[in-house]
């Protein structure tokens, strides 16, 4: 009898532990999704900035922040202590464009192919910041579009940029996407999601060989 009670207690403990893990998991997933949305917003801001368009050759290719040259990481650590890298990209000339965030202040930076700082992006700050929006506050057209064009997907998170455009994170249980709509709820495009952003301190010494 004691053995049975012990087994029942152990199974109950495992069940409760499993439930607790399941309760935590959705929140973690939603946080990751919003991070992806913010990274997408940062990428869009960097690609469309006037400095990027004027001084970069061709479209930017997203890169993992861990592959940035050590000189870039050193500059960020020195001038933007505690920064989180939201986006990192490279153009056809080998120049680097990096979006960083410090205390919710967004700054875009341009570096040459050797990782030497060139200048700030002029309008990046106002374009890269994403403010979370309740799903219930989205225009009705947004939900209707997702239902009609992304079968099996559900809206999980939403945000708004400085232009009033909406970024919406949708998920089908196996993966998520980031969609952009204008201020009226009209679909604009599906945004690419850059490699997951990391703080410069996490990879400050990894770029020496690049």
Q: What is the CATH number of the domain that holds 95?
A: 3.40.1420.30
Residues 46 and 107 in one domain: yes
Looking at the fold, whether 57 and 106 belong to one and the same domain comes out as yes
Do 51 and 107 fall into the same domain? yes
Residue 99: which residues within 8 A CB-CB, separation 6 or more? 42, 43, 45, 46, 85, 86, 87, 88, 106, 107, 108, 109, 121, 124, 128
Name the DSSP letter for residue 28.
H
In this structure, the answer to whether residues 121 and 133 fall within a common structural domain is: no
- Among the listed residues 196, 139, 194, the one whose alpha carbon sits nearest the alpha carbon of residue 168: 139
Q: Are residues 44 and 116 in the same domain?
A: yes
**In this predicted model, what pLDDT tens digit does every residue of 54-110 receive, in sequence order?**
999 988 999 999 999 999 999 999 999 999 999 999 999 999 999 999 988 999 999
For residue 201, is pLDDT > 50? no
Residue finishing a domain among 74, 105, 125: 125
Q: Tell me what pLDDT residue 27 has.
A: 44
Contact 192, 39 (CB under 8 A): no
Structure tokens at 50: 């006037």
| Bridge partners, 121 (sequence order) | none
Give domain status of residue 74, yes or no. Answer: yes
Structural domain includes residue 34: no
87 domain-assigned: yes
Task: Give the residue-averaged pLDDT of 34-60.
Answer: 90
Using the 8-state DSSP alphabet, how is residue 151 labeled? T
Predicted TM-score of the model (pTM): 0.72
Q: Do 133 and 187 belong together in one domain?
A: yes
Give strand ranges (E) for the chain. 61-62, 84-90, 96-102, 105-111, 117-120, 131-132, 154-160, 166-171, 176-181, 187-191
Identify how many contiguous H helices and E strands the chain contains and give both numbers.
5, 10
Average pLDDT over residues 131-147: 95
Structural domains in the chain (count): 2
CB-based contact 168:181 (threshold 8 Å): yes
**Domain of 181?**
129-191
Pair 110, 144 in one domain: no
From residue 199, alpha-carbon distances to 6, 66, 156 in Å are 47, 9, 25
- Quote the percentage of the chain above a pLDDT of 70: 79
Whether residue 44 is predicted with pLDDT greater than 60 in this model: the reply is: yes
List Cβ neighbours of 63 (8 Å cut-off, separation of 6 or more): 88, 89, 90, 195
In a domain, 46, yes or no: yes
pLDDT on residue 181: 96
Same-domain status, 103 and 150: no
| 105 within a domain of the structure (yes/no) | yes
* One domain for residues 109 and 143: no
Instruction: Assess whether pLDDT exceeds 90 at residue 189.
Output: yes
Which of 125, 160, 181 is the last residue in one of the domains?
A: 125
Q: Are residues 60 and 112 in the same domain?
A: yes
* Strand partners of residue 181: 166, 187
Q: Which residues contact 171 (CB under 8 A, 6 or more apart)?
A: 29, 33, 153, 154, 156, 177
Residue finishing a domain among 125, 154, 183: 125
How far is the CA of 115 from the CAs of 36, 66, 78, 143, 160, in angstroms? 25, 14, 14, 43, 32
Residue 20 lies in a domain: no
Cα(208)–Cα(210) distance, integer angstroms:
6
Band of pLDDT at residue 196, cut at 50, 70 and 90: low
Residue 148 resides in a domain: yes
pLDDT greater than 60 at residue 197: no
Residue scoring higher pLDDT (36 or 10): 36
In a domain, 53, yes or no: yes
């Amino acid at each position: 009898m004691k053995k049975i009670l012990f087994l029942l207690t152990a199974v109950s403990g495992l069940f409760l532990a499993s439930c607790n893990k399941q309760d935590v998991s959705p929140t973690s997933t939603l946080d990751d999704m919003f991070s992806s949305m913010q990274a997408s917003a940062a990428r869009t801001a960097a690609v469309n900035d006037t400095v990027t368009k004027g001084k970069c050759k061709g479209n930017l290719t997203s890169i993992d922040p861990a592959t940035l040259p050590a000189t870039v990481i050193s500059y960020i650590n020195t001038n933007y202590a505690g920064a989180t890298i939201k986006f990192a990209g490279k153009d056809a000339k080998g120049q680097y464009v990096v979006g960083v965030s410090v205390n919710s202040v967004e700054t875009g930076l341009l570096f040459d192919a050797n990782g030497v700082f060139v200048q700030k992006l002029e309008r990046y700050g106002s374009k890269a910041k994403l403010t979370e929006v309740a799903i219930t506050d989205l225009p009705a057209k947004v939900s209707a579009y997702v239902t009609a064009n992304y079968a099996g997907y559900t809206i999980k998170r939403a945000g708004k940029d400085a232009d009033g455009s909406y970024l919406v994170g949708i998920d089908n249980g196996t993966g998520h996407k980031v969609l952009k709509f204008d201020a009226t709820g009209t679909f604009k495009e599906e945004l690419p999601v850059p490699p997951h952003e990391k703080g410069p301190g996490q990879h400050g010494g990894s770029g020496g060989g690049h």
